[in-house]
Structure 1
Amino acid sequence: MRDGVPELAPGIPAGYLKKEQRLASAGLLPAPPASGSAAAAFDAQMHARAATLRGTPRWHLAIRDASLHPDKLTGVFACPVGVAITRKDTPRLYQLLQRVAVDTGLSTEDTKHRYKAIRPFVAYGETNCTPDEDEELRADGSYPSGHTALGWGMALALATVDPDSAQSVLARGRAFGESRMICNVHWQSDIIAGRFMASATIALLHAVPEFREDIAIARDELAAARQRSAKPDEDCEVQAKALAIGLPGAQ
């Protein structure tokens, strides 16, 4: 771990960017799809397609992806890189991904507050994959997807750390965002906007010396973990079978 990193919350390190350095997503993103538009119709179509996956292994993976617990977040990418990404085994990489998740996740906040878009499970009077979070999700804007932003941001950072695993890492990062559609808490347009803000934020992070230094250290740390055979603590076979169940038309 890098010493001296302040905490955003207990056990959660602050991001690399100060508040005044963050991008204003409301000035970068268009408004969410208007009622009656072609984009809104596509959102509805994707909602119907995602609904067919409820109760399948892909639905259960989406429930797993809903957790923002630090260990669960870094564990998302253990199978793609073939190494356990933990506070103990890969401390700098673990911290790097947590800080990136904070920066990319927060990049969506001003747009969420501006539009307060209704989530699909609310619009259709349905349930979602984490009903215990129902009240919290109802009060939080749907557009753009913060989960998608932090998942895609982590994938982009990890692909930089480990280019040889980029294909599988990015595929898992994309699936992480699609899990939010399958969970019935986000629209396709939310997912696309979340990925945009993650990409924009990662581009900004590459100008931060501390981020670049951590990328280099994490690269060496990952190589050392592979030599120690620090295997993933996820069931990669079960995960692969779930991911093989695609979401037709997802963008």
Structure 2
Amino acid sequence: MPATVPEIRPGLLAGYLGRDLPDSLKLLPAPPATGTPAFRNDQAVSRASQKLRGTPRYELAKADADLAFPHTASVFECTLGVPVTQQQSPFLYQLLRRTMTDAALATYGAKDHYKRIRPFVHYKEGTCRPEDEASLRKDGSYPSGHTSIGWTWALILTELAPDRADAVLARGRAFGESRLVCNAHWQSDILEGRATAAGAVAKLHANADFRADMAMAVKEIATLRANGATPGVDCAAEATALAVPIPGVL
């Protein structure tokens, strides 16, 4: 079993990086200013993505918005082809929890500096998770924390299961784009969330504890495959949702 790791707040494990996080304020350009072509593109994509309400893609976006464990551990089960649970793959499960913290915290240099308004606030609308809206109003939109988390996971999982790389990366991209569908982020937030994730993953590879847990997670995935373990989620429904294109997305 993996070593016990303390929580930095209820439900959120300490990451691997501590204070050694990439500085997103130095890493990223300023977000598009109001009235610029880049912001008009953000607006166009935002409005187009709201046409997906009521579709399977919108339902998947609602599920992707929930970052609570154990729910969010299942996001990549279909692409990996194995279950991801604390009982069956404890090192992989904890790896996802700890890297979520690193990926999320890495966004706050820019988030707190720019304090960008989110699209649902800009348009006086709602999101796919009304219960999150009060906290989101106080949390900067740029860059997207969900995207940083999802892309960090995707990059890590492609190393753990390179034979599934294309599917894993596609799901990681879709996880971030769910924030467009949810009306929670602009497209430029999504794009720079991926850049933040890349910085976090690069830093993680210099961490010995992370590398050790990665080695154990590889063994867990191999064992699950050898034992014929299968995902515990509806992969057909996920595939149907992911087949719905998001209008205007680059």
Using structure 1 for the length normalisation, give the TM-score. Answer: 0.96
- Amino acid across the alignment from 1:33: P
In structure 1, what is the equivalent of residue 90 of structure 2?
A: 91
User: What is the CA–CA distance in structure 2 between the aligned matches of 1:10 and 1:125, rounded to whole Å?
Assistant: 31
User: What is the CA–CA distance in structure 1 between the aligned matches of 2:14 and 2:116, rounded to whole Å?
Assistant: 27
- Amino acid across the alignment from 2:110: T
SS in 1 for 2:8: strand
**How far 1:25 moved relative to its partner?**
0.8
SS in 2 for 1:8: strand
In structure 2, what is the equivalent of residue 16 of structure 1?
A: 16
Map residues 43-122 of structure 1 onto 2, 5 A cutoff. 43-122=42-121
User: What is the CA–CA distance in structure 1 between the aligned matches of 2:105 and 2:78, rounded to whole Å?
Assistant: 26
How many residue pairs end up in the alignment? 250
User: What is the CA–CA distance in structure 2 between the aligned matches of 1:174 and 1:146, rounded to whole Å?
Assistant: 13
User: What is the CA–CA distance in structure 2 between the aligned matches of 1:109 and 1:37, rounded to whole Å?
Assistant: 24
Contact kept in structure 1, 2:104 and 2:149, CA below 8 Å: yes
1:194-231 deviation per Cα after TM superposition (whole angstroms, max 9, x unaligned): 11000111011111111111111100110101122221
2:26 aligned with 1:27 = yes
SS in 2 for 1:70: coil
- Amino acid across the alignment from 1:165: R
What 5-or-longer segments of structure 1 have no aligned partner? none
Change (3 A) 1:57 1:22: same
**How far 1:11 moved relative to its partner?**
4.1
What 5-or-longer segments of structure 2 have no aligned partner? none
State the identity as a percent. 50
In structure 2, what is the equivalent of residue 135 of structure 1?
A: 134
In structure 1, what is the equivalent of residue 143 of structure 2?
A: 144
CA RMSD of aligned residues (A): 1.1
**How far 1:4 moved relative to its partner?**
3.7
- Amino acid across the alignment from 1:97: L
Contact kept in structure 2, 1:79 and 1:236, CA below 8 Å: yes
Runs of 4+ residues over 6 Å off in structure 1: none
User: What is the CA–CA distance in structure 2 between the aligned matches of 1:31 and 1:162, rounded to whole Å?
Assistant: 35
1:115-140 deviation per Cα after TM superposition (whole angstroms, max 9, x unaligned): 11111011111111111222111111
Deviates more, 1:176-185 or 1:136-145: 136-145
User: What is the CA–CA distance in structure 2 between the aligned matches of 1:169 and 1:222, rounded to whole Å?
Assistant: 14
2:41 aligned with 1:42 = yes
**How far 1:248 moved relative to its partner?**
3.2
1:146-174 deviation per Cα after TM superposition (whole angstroms, max 9, x unaligned): 01101110111111111011111110010
SS in 1 for 2:29: coil
